[in-house]
Structure 1
Amino acid sequence: MNPLPLTATLRLQFHREFTFDQAIPLVPYFRKLGISHIYASPLLASTPGSMHGYDTIDCHRIDPDRGGIEGLRRLVARLRQEGMGLILDIVPNHMGVGPDNGWWMDVLRLGQRSAYAQHFDIDWRPADVSLHHKVLLPFLGAPLGDVIHSGELTLGFDAASHHAVLHYSDQRFPLSPESEKTLLEEAGHDNGRPVDADFPNSAAGEAVLDRLKTLLDHHTKAGRARLRTLLDAQHYRLAWWRVAGDLINWRRFFDVTSLVALRMDQRVVFDDAHRLVFDLYREGLIDGLRVDHVDGLARPAEYCTRLRARLDTLRRERPESLQEQAPFFVEKILQRNEILPLEWPVTGTTGYDFLEQVDLLLHHPKGETPITELWSAFGPADFEEVEQTARHEKLDTSFVGEFETLVALLAKEFPQERDLTPHALGAALRAVLTAFPVYRSYFADGGDSGADFRAIDRARLAAQHMLPAYQHNILDQICQYLADARIDTAERQDILERFEHLTAPLTAKAGEDTAFYRYARLLSRNDVGCSPDRFAASVLQFHTSNKERLATHPQALLTTATHDHKRGEDGRARLMVLSEPEAEWPHTARHWLAHTESLLEKTSHGPSPVPADAYFIFQTLISSWPLEKSEMAAYPERLEAYLTKALREAGERTGWSTPDEAYEEACLTFAKACVGGEFSEELTTYINRLENSAALNSLSQTLLRMTSPGVPDLYQGREGWDFSLVDPDNRRPVDYAKLSQDLEKGEGFAESCHHWKTGRAKQALIETVLGLRLRQPNLFEAGRYLPVAVTGPLSEHVIAFERESPEGAYLVIAPRLTMALSPNNDLSTVHSGWAETHLAVEGEWESLLHQYTSTKGEAFSLAYLDRAVPIDVLFKK
């Protein structure tokens, strides 16, 4: 079959429990649903047992847990039979550390002599002189001295490498060749004899090992001293995990010490890390790429340009029918008013910006003031205050080492006669980092766009309010230095890279991984790519964003659910209803909170959840409450795992490093009482009030994702309802048997709305619209986007637009602010205002979802949606 154009992607999470061969039988289902390309999670070899693949340990192999290269070939062959393609998620920013990463182990064994010493972003001459030419390994569960005394560090031989290694729990640390030679000689081993896989089990090997145990016996002072001397001689320094933020001298992915950053700006590293990826593309096994965490790279523009050039060169070597330009998408979170740099030769982002766009559209602006007043009784009303507090905390913990190094480097750049002390520089720099408005600038990448200068200037102006007046001059000098391209020195380049490598993880860790769990004004606004300080946006703003995307990145991905989302797209849609006056959420929440004391008296005699956490739990229950009774059995366990994670991520009354189990248990007991006690009746009654409106919200965001400029992305299984919580809950197995059966039955959209809780209504809408996109791809890729004016009593509850090209035209009608429409249990609405609400369109239109054809020449009235589900796609006759 001829290859399909890129019209819709389906994200699949491959791992040991969902392999290529398990996906192959599902390909016909995906094709019938209207998918053109599978969008696969990372497939290169990752840490054994990894369920996500973002911890690559070998860039030159397809992961055997997922099916290996032959399994991938079988999957792609089946995709080709249906005309479908494959887009691969790649991870250029980092790799997983550990004994299975050959590059990493080689660096630990040989230090700077290793062929891979420059592959990783390691500072071989940090401020701490004791770490010069060494790699800090903060993987110990206790201080090194305690570990030595406990005997937890033992010596053995690695069967794969045939070298001596230090064992600590399930970790292995190689010895330098010199140390290994000296140690074996001390133990009486003839160094001329080989140490192979059989050595540890041979008589000679056992004798050597016995002598080594004696030499390194932790029970004796001499043994401990000899082990300490051995450790000091290595190209690494073992340390307690708690010192990582202070001392680590290699860049991590955010603050995750199991992931080490790559020097992707080095051409040799780029070539080595992408060798297999380019082979897969050349062979025709993949058709495009998704680049993970592009802001983690030192020079994203350079990387994207280099990647595009290589892909374009390799196109000519691909099978003849597969020589269209490869799409590639970058995972980048765009902050408010930020745009994707136009000089990057990419197809677009992975779609978080669309999630934010549609999310804002479906919130009622009238809810902002009363809900903000409600939340302000429990926590700061201003999200910026919460986020900045979290940034300060992260600078004092996770990133203290990176911050202090940056301050020290800046101090060297400013002459002493300016009286700029390291302390003063640190205070000003901290203010800049705390106020920085976007994930990062791109000065280190040669960026000189207005966006970078505006970001620095906005940070400077905001930082002024955090500093006394006498420090404003220092602040100005730092910002000027960062933005002044005339200072063309290696020192400034190093400072810029370190600055930009700090702002991005600081923003992420303080924002989406901390403040998002503290600031609970309305949790539907707390998701990846969202700005919780914004509450709602107008229809005009939605149209404007769509037109901008069509003009700049017409094939960017559009998503409302990902493997990283905080809560499922339909859970968010349910919470959106709380913004509407008709939901009476502030009154309901206050009533519930006023009665929590009696609920707590029945469940606990220890600590109690603070009101802010109780309020957070109520919203969590509303967003994730299962539709089907059959799902309730597993719900308490899912809820417990989520709340434990949420409380620890918030880090206010408990945390990952110092958990307060008594407080956690109090919150979990409270949540369980809400689920299984008397209160559950009141909770379910309230959710029942919301659920029809929430379902309309879900269908609306689904339709808008599939018809707006861009390529709709469907996260695995989200053609059915999605009330999941953050990972790992959102990565649970998908019931494809049920989904396939529902698709085969072929029930239409309008009919399936009569029993919408089964999920078929959402699936039918997706099937209908994606089928349309497959039949007329050019219309949706390049067709004009025309906002349609809506007039009449229900105008604020409708968004409408046309997609038009020489192939034809389609009219999209989607509802918003749905509770005021009072949808029935079949999602139909009865409202006299429909007859008086009109669209400013001309011509004759025929509905794809309802039995309706408009009359040519008459004003387009929405009267036909009275007593019907108020959502539609119509084509122009």
Structure 2
Amino acid sequence: MSPPPLPRATYRVQLHADFGFDDAAVLAPYLADLGFSHLYVSPVMAARPGSTHGYDIVDHNRFNPELGGEAGFDRLVAALREQGLGLVLDIVPNHVGIGPDNAAWMDVLEWGPQSPHAADFDIDWQSSRRNLQGKVLLPVLGNAFGVELESGHIELRLDAAEGSISAWYHDSRLPISPMDYAPLLQDALASAQGEGTRRLANLVRDFDALREHPGSIAARRDTAASLREQLVELLADEPELIDAIGRGLRRVGGDVGDADRWQRLGELLDRQAYRPAFWRVSSDEINYRRFFDINDLAGLRVERAELFEAMHRLVLARVRSGDVQGLRVDHIDGLYDPRQYCERLAQACVAAPVPTWILLEKILAPHEELPGDWPVAGTTGYEALNLIGGLFVDPASERALTTIYRRISGERREFDAVLYESKKHIVQNNLASEMGVLANAVQTLSASQWRSRDFSYAAIRKALEELVARFPVYRSYLDPTHPLSMADRRHIEWAVGLARKHAGPVDTSVYDFIASILTGELAEPGTRYPAEPVRQAAMRFQQLSGPAMAKGLEDTSFYRYLRLLVHNEVGGDPRRYAVSPAAFHKANVQRQLQHPLAMLAASTHDTKRGEDARTRIACLSSVPRRWAQHLALWSRLNRRLLAKLDGEPAPDANHQYYLYQTLIGAWPADLDIDDAPALAALAARVEGAVIKAVREGKQRSSWTHPDADYEQAVGRFVHGMLAPGARNLFLADFQTFLRPLAWWGALTSLSQTLLRLTMPGVPDIYRGAEGWELSMVDPDNRRPVDYAALRAAAVDVAAIAGDPDAVAALLPHWADGRVKLHLIRSVLRLRREQPALFSEGLYQAVDISGDRPERVLAYQRRHGEHELLVVAPRLWPQWAPELPQSAEAASAALAGLTIDLAPGRYRDVIAGRSLDVGSAGPVSVAELLTYFPVGLLLRG
């Protein structure tokens, strides 16, 4: 069967060696039964061996053998097609994994700027540092170069099967240029004998002649390749030469502690097109663009048409063959020219059998919109995730919760100050080298004209750091073919205004000069500045501001400012405390007009916590007084577990605050506090999540400078607070506090799920999130999914479809997750039955009447003769009873609220009943939700 021409709903899986193509193929009947239209998979191209995520691709044109290779991919496509399902691929155009497994990168290290792949990587070959000109920095060493060299940790090895010589530092291969083979092979002649000696001597002569090769670079490379082949043949014929060459290579080194004998190896490495270095120097000196600050993920210049075509060859062939119907583009903001990339990709997909669904992983600020003229369906849905989530935060509690957080944590600053400090830290530390490259480019421009040549490098760099730190969005989008948008111009003006305001009584004209670069005005005719370098500098700034925001906001500020963790989500903003129903409706109307097929996500491989963990945390906003009382009690009960480091408690109050919220979100619904093994397993998971939070916050520890004492104190605290036994009074009180919160969180999750499945867009379910998704930050959210249990639950909910009483009976057993699975199955099967209603149906808000109508959100989707009513209660802790935990009790709390319905017969999609409305007028919301706490009614 062919998949539908447009996606209705996607199911995201994470592929790795333990869950490959064949494992995903097994899911096809299960997903089809639930109502999904497409499987959405993590990257499938060859990644580094053992990769658990696939984003460290080393070959864009080869299927990952650990997933099953090309044959496995074909089996997956066939299994999906048999069930009428399509396939969406996650592609990674921004970067590749570098190391011995990446042949192109190894070639660049071997040949430097002369490599045909040199232009594919974003390398600054003209570094301002003299010892990096014509070289690439390799921050792979665990200590200073001289220390590692003289300790014997770098050694030369021969690869007889390849005819190559490399320096090896543990698992890092550093290829030696063929121009340096002659003296290395010469050492073997002294101990070689027989016919092999003559042939080896000839090869030494020919390798030596490479330095003076009269031909082109390509001819020199061809000659070197031929000589290597001859060396391979010689070693196969005379295997005793392998040992002779090996002995010679070992003589290039020396004895540990004898510095003079390492001179030759050090000089050999200094002649290469790379500089091995201590990994800690990477932030200051690295001269290739990375994925954020990850040294072993190198940026690609996909803006080059040749590279675009080469690296997309395989994926586009599969799109054109009809095997793949959608593409999710990873990290679009990391590209030099995102618009150009989208246009090229869309054009390349024109020959596909059906229009290709192209989505961008792009994080939008609450006030920001995706450029409307990009030929894509939209984003992967982080803005929708936070829009929906904000509905369930009680707006009335902002002041109270802020006061509680400040009193307990001691953090008095507003989030703006925390964000600025975090971004400043990132550009001055993690991205210092990238900032230096940009500052050099700007200074070169300023020095080219008299009017600006007095701007010093220091002033330019400081100004750039300020502008990046104060930039209000991830990036702007100046490009060679389109003028800057008014929105982007406002973003630049905002950053410049703030920077000037906080600069003090100093000359701030440098900000105006940089602003004229960022807007492109400095490249206009008559300015006398070279247009292309101006544009390049602006676009380099754009490439840098995105990673600075990502690392400063998501990976630093979100682990420092912890008032309510539901805000600290990818795409979130703690400055937007809550979302009103009016704002929600307005955003959906806009979404329907601009990007009706954008993705709607709730949990992803990148979210900081699972969707259902967030709803529990959101419910804290409705019970601030109770929250404060229990926090005070827990602080006293767990004081005995604190360590003292330099006179300060460990973990500190802010991290304790993070820990309690994390535990509330992650606590398994069926966990018994007397279950010692389960508590120990939970403690290990929580410890990992909190240690990661501590390191990301970069205040008490960090990834680059971990504080073992503090982290051990955190671990002891976590395991102590979760230790079973009568002496642990915290556990009993925590369970008492959590019990109603978990119930309200489950109800909130059902509302959240219903909205995501019915609002304009294409809903995505993250693997396993058809049940409760209470995961913490990765790698916790990538744990194996129990699909056997989910399939059994799916059989159960299929059996009760159409039986309202059986549906109502799910809620008292909400902890087993079947209630959520039933909701998802019911709505997805309706989406399959009525695809146009969801893809094209008009969105319209519906009013609720009665006492406190804001407790319920409702809207309609209309298409042709069909009308769909969505009813989703919110802020459950304010009014829903703690017990009994039943649909009847939940609906009874809505007594007095009504909604106007047109006369006719309605199908209660979730409960599986019919509802007749005799005449137009108000209908009780409680009646609509008698059997289930959220409602979906179809008329026509």
Normalised by the length of structure 2, the TM-score is: 0.89
Which secondary structure does the structure 1 equivalent of 2:915 belong to? coil
Q: What does the per-residue CA deviation read over 1:710-765, in whole Å, with 9 as the maximum and x for residues that have no partner?
A: 00000001001011111111001110000001111223543321211111000000
Aligned to 1:363: 393
Aligned to 1:206: 243
User: What aligned pairs does 1:20-169 form with structure 2 within 5 A after superposition?
Assistant: 20-158=21-159, 161-169=162-170
User: What aligned pairs does 1:413-424 form with structure 2 within 5 A after superposition?
Assistant: 413-414=445-446, 415=449, 417-418=451-452, 419-424=454-459
* Matched-pair contact (CA < 8 Å) for 2:143–2:279: yes
CA distance in 2, matches of 1:266, 1:447: 21
Amino acid at match of 1:497: M
* Matched-pair contact (CA < 8 Å) for 2:397–2:624: no
| Alpha-carbon shift at residue 181 of structure 1 (Å) | 3.0
CA distance in 2, matches of 1:536, 1:257: 38
| Alpha-carbon shift at residue 206 of structure 1 (Å) | 0.2
Aligned to 2:438: 406
Q: Does 1:717 align with 2:777?
A: no
* Matched-pair contact (CA < 8 Å) for 1:604–1:669: no
CA distance in 1, matches of 2:494, 2:242: 66
CA distance in 2, matches of 1:608, 1:114: 52
Structure 2 counterpart of 1:811, from 869, 873, 888: 869
Q: What does the per-residue CA deviation read over 1:496-544, in whole Å, with 9 as the maximum and x for residues that have no partner?
A: 1221121011101111011111111011111111112221010000011
Aligned to 2:347: 309
| Alpha-carbon shift at residue 278 of structure 1 (Å) | 1.1
Aligned to 1:834: 894
Q: Which runs of 5+ in 1 are unaligned?
A: 316-322
- Cα RMSD for the two superposed structures: 2.1
Q: Does 1:876 align with 2:909?
A: no
* Matched-pair contact (CA < 8 Å) for 1:673–1:679: no
Which secondary structure does the structure 1 equivalent of 2:555 belong to? helix
CA pair 583-556 structure 1, distance change in 2 beyond 3 A: farther
| Alpha-carbon shift at residue 814 of structure 1 (Å) | 0.5
Aligned to 2:216: none
| Alpha-carbon shift at residue 198 of structure 1 (Å) | 8.8
CA distance in 2, matches of 1:549, 1:118: 39
Q: Does 1:557 align with 2:599?
A: yes
Q: What does the per-residue CA deviation read over 1:428-452, in whole Å, with 9 as the maximum and x for residues that have no partner?
A: 2222111100101111454421121
Structure 2 counterpart of 1:493, from 532, 535, 545: 535
CA distance in 2, matches of 1:181, 1:740: 64
Aligned to 2:404: 374
* Matched-pair contact (CA < 8 Å) for 1:829–1:868: no
Aligned to 2:219: none
Aligned to 2:211: none
| Alpha-carbon shift at residue 839 of structure 1 (Å) | 1.7
CA distance in 1, matches of 2:12, 2:622: 32
Amino acid at match of 2:10: T
Q: Which is further off, 652-661 or 201-210?
A: 201-210
Amino acid at match of 2:383: D
Amino acid at match of 1:406: L
Structure 1 counterpart of 2:327, from 278, 282, 289: 289
| Alpha-carbon shift at residue 191 of structure 1 (Å) | 4.8
Q: Which runs of 5+ in 2 are unaligned?
A: 190-199, 204-226, 525-530, 802-806
CA distance in 1, matches of 2:112, 2:766: 42
* Matched-pair contact (CA < 8 Å) for 2:613–2:665: yes
Structure 2 counterpart of 1:673, from 689, 711, 720: 720
Structure 1 counterpart of 2:485, from 411, 425, 449: 449
Q: What does the per-residue CA deviation read over 1:338-363, in whole Å, with 9 as the maximum and x for residues that have no partner?
A: 00111110011011111111011111
User: What aligned pairs does 1:683-722 form with structure 2 within 5 A after superposition?
Assistant: 683-722=734-773
Amino acid at match of 1:412: T
CA distance in 2, matches of 1:532, 1:191: 70
CA distance in 2, matches of 1:825, 1:682: 20
| Alpha-carbon shift at residue 423 of structure 1 (Å) | 2.4
Aligned to 1:625: 667
Q: Does 1:340 align with 2:370?
A: yes
CA distance in 1, matches of 2:483, 2:172: 41
Q: Which is further off, 129-138 or 764-773?
A: 129-138
Amino acid at match of 1:368: E
Q: Does 1:3 align with 2:61?
A: no
CA distance in 2, matches of 1:425, 1:61: 44
* Matched-pair contact (CA < 8 Å) for 2:694–2:701: yes
CA distance in 2, matches of 1:524, 1:456: 29
| Alpha-carbon shift at residue 595 of structure 1 (Å) | 4.2
| Alpha-carbon shift at residue 666 of structure 1 (Å) | 1.5
Amino acid at match of 1:665: Q
Q: Which is further off, 437-446 or 744-753?
A: 744-753
Amino acid at match of 1:855: V
Which secondary structure does the structure 2 equivalent of 1:39 belong to? strand
CA distance in 1, matches of 2:639, 2:890: 41
Amino acid at match of 1:207: A
Normalised by the length of structure 1, the TM-score is: 0.96
* Matched-pair contact (CA < 8 Å) for 1:608–1:663: yes
CA pair 325-417 structure 1, distance change in 2 beyond 3 A: closer
CA pair 561-616 structure 1, distance change in 2 beyond 3 A: same
Q: Does 1:756 align with 2:786?
A: no
CA distance in 1, matches of 2:161, 2:374: 43
* Matched-pair contact (CA < 8 Å) for 1:609–1:670: yes
| Alpha-carbon shift at residue 578 of structure 1 (Å) | 0.3
CA distance in 1, matches of 2:795, 2:234: 58
Amino acid at match of 1:92: P
Q: Which is further off, 127-136 or 209-218?
A: 209-218
* Matched-pair contact (CA < 8 Å) for 1:11–1:716: yes
Q: What does the per-residue CA deviation read over 1:814-862, in whole Å, with 9 as the maximum and x for residues that have no partner?
A: 1110112324323543576634212243233332223451423232221
Aligned to 2:474: 439
CA distance in 2, matches of 1:713, 1:602: 46
Aligned to 1:524: 566
Q: Does 1:502 align with 2:530?
A: no
Q: What does the per-residue CA deviation read over 1:778-824, in whole Å, with 9 as the maximum and x for residues that have no partner?
A: 11001100100112114111000001001511100011101123243
* Matched-pair contact (CA < 8 Å) for 1:794–1:834: no
Structure 2 counterpart of 1:246, from 284, 289, 313: 284
CA pair 566-504 structure 1, distance change in 2 beyond 3 A: same
**Sequence identity (%):** 38
| Alpha-carbon shift at residue 94 of structure 1 (Å) | 0.2
* Matched-pair contact (CA < 8 Å) for 1:583–1:819: no
| Alpha-carbon shift at residue 417 of structure 1 (Å) | 5.0
| Alpha-carbon shift at residue 413 of structure 1 (Å) | 2.1
Q: Does 1:801 align with 2:863?
A: no
Aligned to 1:391: 423
Amino acid at match of 1:264: V
CA pair 261-603 structure 1, distance change in 2 beyond 3 A: closer
User: What aligned pairs does 1:757-772 form with structure 2 within 5 A after superposition?
Assistant: 757-772=815-830
User: What aligned pairs does 1:457-468 form with structure 2 within 5 A after superposition?
Assistant: 457-468=493-504
Aligned to 1:318: none
Q: Which is further off, 558-567 or 849-858?
A: 849-858
CA distance in 1, matches of 2:679, 2:160: 48
CA distance in 2, matches of 1:208, 1:868: 80
Q: Which is further off, 689-698 or 851-860?
A: 851-860
CA pair 248-448 structure 1, distance change in 2 beyond 3 A: same
Aligned to 1:732: 783
Structure 1 counterpart of 2:711, from 660, 664, 682: 664
User: What aligned pairs does 1:607-618 form with structure 2 within 5 A after superposition?
Assistant: 608-618=650-660
Structure 2 counterpart of 1:853, from 901, 915, 918: 915
Which secondary structure does the structure 1 equivalent of 2:562 belong to? coil
* Matched-pair contact (CA < 8 Å) for 1:577–1:817: yes
Which secondary structure does the structure 1 equivalent of 2:722 belong to? helix
CA distance in 2, matches of 1:125, 1:603: 46
Q: Does 1:584 align with 2:626?
A: yes
Structure 1 counterpart of 2:926, from 856, 863, 868: 863
Amino acid at match of 2:841: G
| Alpha-carbon shift at residue 397 of structure 1 (Å) | 1.1
* Matched-pair contact (CA < 8 Å) for 2:910–2:932: no
| Alpha-carbon shift at residue 424 of structure 1 (Å) | 2.4
Q: Does 1:225 align with 2:272?
A: no
User: What aligned pairs does 1:775-794 form with structure 2 within 5 A after superposition?
Assistant: 775-794=833-852
CA distance in 2, matches of 1:780, 1:665: 51
